[in-house]
Amino acid sequence: MNLAAAHPGFLSPTGVEIVFVLVGVVTLAAAVITVTTRKLVHAALWLVVALGGIAVEYLLLTAEFIAWVQVLIYVGSVVVLLLFGLMLTRAPIGDSPDADSGNRPVALAVALASAATLVTVVVDAFRTYWIDLDASVQGSTAVTGESLFRHWVLPFEALSVLLLAALVGAIVLSRKDGPRAAGPGPVRDPDATGPAAPAAPDQPDTDTGPGSGTDAEGRR
Amino acid sequence: MHLAYPAVLAVLLFSVGVYGVLARRNVILVLMSVELMLNAVNLNLVAFDVWLRDTLHTGQALTLFVIAVAAAEIGIGLAIVLMVYRDRGTSDVDRLRDLREDRAGAVTEAAVTGAAVAAGPGTASGGTPHPHTSEREQGNSAGRQTA
């Protein structure tokens, strides 16, 4: 408890803390809207706000490189991938009333219980600790790159192999005919007539939706 | 800055992600909630790395790794979702229940017919697989109607 006296209290916040709390409120609100809205595309767009808010929090924590990586990868590519996924699975633009499943009260109870428990534990554990943001730069590109390529080279290269495996796996999974269909003609006829073909007559653009994109991807 | 601010924000974001994973029905919305949970963990990692002044910067390196793994995960996950959508005509988690156990009555009924088959080698050899296939076809037709 005597450590608490050595640190500034919660009643006199610094400017960084005020900005952090404000951006945190915006981030949290965007996250809540993401998981509760009934418009699927709006959920993806609010996710952009939440992830961008987290990038600003990284900047406030002086982790500059992580912040730009967050903007590049999450806001730039993951959300675009999610939007493409929504588009290819024919998500409705307007309200979709069945966006939430039936176990919503249970989910709310679990989330509130975990939030209450974790907030209690975390506040009790860390309320007396203070992050010194002014001492030295912790997350500039030079510092992060030096530690990454001096101490973490082997995991970094393993990560590149993982990304390559994920790339190949995604291409293999999203090919339309699968690996056995190298021969001429539609090999998967008996299988494909069950799920995919009956949807074609009443929806003429079925084959131009998910089929064309994945077909082009498979031919690449 | 107090360490409690980023820690509490990370906890709240994680809880929001937990709610989304449990309450959402569309697979892509579930993936978005998973991304929220991963970002909460990343925020914790960065905050503790800055707080501890780690000379190896383990927290930031691990954050970069988590971001890359999350990108790989979202790519593979969306490929699987698209494949499921092409096969089933739906991307709802609730409708993908081919591997679930049947109700207790159906299970006991299957056990009884299995016992009957075992007791007397009679006629009903293909009796038990039938309910499964018919149920799967019903699920497919329901998915196609909504698609």
Closest Cα in chain B, distance from residue A173 (Å): 6
CA distance A73 to A185: 39
CB-based burial, A20-37: b 16+ in 10 Å, e otherwise: beebbeebbebbbbbbbb
Burial of A90 (0-12, 13-18, 19+ CB in 10 A): middle
Asked if the structure places residue A187 within a domain, the reply is no
**Residue range of the domain that includes A201:** 152-178+197-220
pLDDT tens string A63-107: 999 999 999 999 989 999 999 999 988 888 888 877 788 889 999
- Supply the pLDDT for residue A137: 76
A60: domain CATH number is: 1.20.120.1200
Distance (Å) from the alpha carbon of B108 to chain A's nearest alpha carbon:
27
Which DSSP string corresponds to A59-122? HHTT-HHHHHHIIIIIIIIIHHHHHHHHHHTT--SSB-TTSB-TTHHHHHHHHHHHHHHHHHHH
Does one domain contain both A4 and A98?
yes
Specify if A211 maps to a domain: yes
- Domain co-membership, A207 together with A159: yes
Could you give the CA distance from residue B21 to residue A35 in angstroms, rounded to a whole number?
8
Alpha-carbon distance A7 to nearest alpha carbon in chain B (angstroms): 9
Q: Which of A52-61, A112-121, A197-206, B61-70 has the lowest mean pLDDT?
A: A197-206
Please report whether residue A67 resides in a domain: yes
Residue A89 lies in a domain: yes
Evaluate whether residue A185 is within a structural domain.
no
Helix (H, G, I), strand (E, B) or coil at B89: coil
Q: Domain for residue A186, yes or no? A: no
Indicate the residue of B4, B82, B140 with minimum beta-carbon distance to A195. B140
From the candidate CATH numbers 3.40.50.970, 1.10.10.10, 3.90.79.10, 1.10.287.3510, the one assigned to the domain spanning B4-95: 1.10.287.3510
- Co-location of A96 and A204 in the same domain: no
Name the B residues in 81-120 with CB < 8 Å from any A CB: 81-83, 85-89, 91-94
Do A104 and A162 fall within a single domain?
no
Is the distance from CB of A160 to CB of A154 less than 8 angstroms? Answer: no
* Minimal-distance CA residue of chain B relative to A10: B2
Given a cut of 80, is residue B16 above it in pLDDT? Answer: yes
Angle between helices B27-52 and A79-88 (to 10 degrees): 170
Judging contacts by C-beta atoms under 8 Å, the chain A residues touching residue B98 are none
- A55 touches B44 (CB < 8 A): no
